[in-house]
Amino acid sequence: MFFAFARKIWIKRDDCTGLSTGGNKTRKLEFLMAEAQAEGADMVMTQGATQSNHARQTAAFAAKLGMDCHLLLEDRTGSKDANYNHNGNVFLDHLHGATAEMRGPGLDMNAEMENVAADLRKTGRKVYTIVGGGSNPTGALGYVDCAFELLNQANQRGLVIDHLVHATGSAGTQAGLVVGLRAMNANIPLLGIGVRAPKEKQEENVYNLAVKTAEKLGCPGVVSRGDVVANCDYVGEGYGIPTPGGIEAINLFARLEAVLLDPVYSGKGAAGLIDLVRKGQFKKGERVVFLHTGGSASLFSYTTAFEFGETSSPQTTK
Ligand SMILES: *Cc1c(COP(=O)(O)O)cnc(C)c1O
């Protein structure tokens, strides 16, 4: 699962988690879907942005387990692009057999979902709801597990990790990782590159979830506030809106390593990584692991963000 990118940068390939086109939500869903099954659910529901990777992985997991899946998708970007609204993850949601309904921006989406679930339960459905991003203590256990796996892999090959970097959004990935690293006494600084909220808010969200996750794991108090560090300088205009740095990172990874990033998450995470390398925050000789959280399915909904990506007029030259 490791992939050597340059001399001192390694990629942990959670874009290759196996379901559908992969991604980090699959690890959280291993725990969440088990809980759904244990509760006897016949349907799962979750919510996310139009191009939610989490929604698509939930749809894929439900298909695999023979459960129904219903999605609530929030129009967070206002994009009218046909590919954005129908291709990429949206196409895959339907391909995996999920049903979906849209919501305008700015609603309390978890509350919206609970309302729809309550109506479905009245008709006899056994609905298990999953919060946005699968980011509750149950889901975050998937990333506690990932921290253990990463340390084992590093130990097996004698790799000392100086930094671990990844894109952070709904906070479950970073919360699980920080708990896992602390519980294992691993002294590896973890840096989340934000894709939506400002730094203070993002760190607070991660910390609060980490506290609850540590309790669930049986290691209360293992994480302190100072362990949670996010850099939210690479969000750009907002969630789901591509940035020049993110597009540069996607192009670099595709052309140098044949690794696919995405404009919403992993591209912005890698943009932060690249910029911090250039600025010398990661020093020469230090070994940095970039956790690739997936997202490549959304590339096909963002083709117009690339200079060759104009879909209306095919180009034969250049
Ligand atoms: C959801 C997601 C993230 C962020 O993970 P969180 O656990 O929500 O913080 C990062 N990258 C990709 C591709 C994602 O889909």
DSSP codes joined into one string, 59-119: HHHHHHHT-EEEEEEE--S----HHHHHSHHHHHHHHTT-EEEEE-TTS-HHHHHHHHHHH
Q: Copy the structure tokens of residue 252.
A: 């670099």
Residue 252 host element (H or E): helix 244-257
Atom of ligand 1 nearest to the CA of 15: 13
Query: For atom 15 of ligand 1, which residue has the closest CA?
Result: 53
- The pLDDT, as a whole number, for residue 317 is 44
Could you tell which of 15, 25, 166 is best to mutate to test the pocket of ligand 1, judged by most ligand atoms within 8 Å of the CB?
25
Distance CA 234, CA 279 (A): 14
Contacts with 219 (C-beta within 8 Å, 6 or more apart), sequence order:
179, 182, 183
- The pLDDT, as a whole number, for residue 313 is 46
Residue 173 host element (H or E): helix 172-183
Closest CA to 228 of 256, 246, 202: 202
Distance CA 53, CA 50 (A): 9
- The pLDDT, as a whole number, for residue 72 is 98
Distances (CA, A) of 303 to 21, 85, 95: 18, 12, 20
Could you tell which of 170, 268, 292 is best to mutate to test the pocket of ligand 1, judged by most ligand atoms within 8 Å of the CB?
170
- The pLDDT, as a whole number, for residue 268 is 98
- The pLDDT, as a whole number, for residue 311 is 59
Contact 306, 247 (CB under 8 A): yes
Residue 309 one-letter amino acid: G
Cα(295) to ligand 1 centroid in Å equals 8
- The pLDDT, as a whole number, for residue 310 is 72
Distances (CA, A) of 26 to 47, 84, 142, 190, 298: 15, 22, 8, 21, 16
- The pLDDT, as a whole number, for residue 116 is 98
Residue 4: CB atoms within 10 A of its CB come to 10
- The pLDDT, as a whole number, for residue 309 is 84
Cα(56) to ligand 1 centroid in Å equals 12
Task: Assign 186 to helix, strand or coil.
Answer: coil
- The pLDDT, as a whole number, for residue 74 is 98
Distance CA 245, CA 275 (A): 8
- The pLDDT, as a whole number, for residue 48 is 98
Q: Which residues line ligand 1 (CB under 6 A)?
A: 23-25, 53-54, 133, 135, 167-174, 262, 265-266, 293-295
The reply to whether the predicted model has a pTM over 0.85 is yes
Active site residues: 52
Distance CA 52, CA 168 (A): 14
Could you tell which of 145, 265, 292, 298 is best to mutate to test the pocket of ligand 1, judged by most ligand atoms within 8 Å of the CB?
265
Q: Which residues of the chain have pLDDT under 50?
A: 1-6, 312-318
Distance CA 59, CA 99 (A): 9
* 263-267-269-272 Cα dihedral, nearest 10 degrees: -110
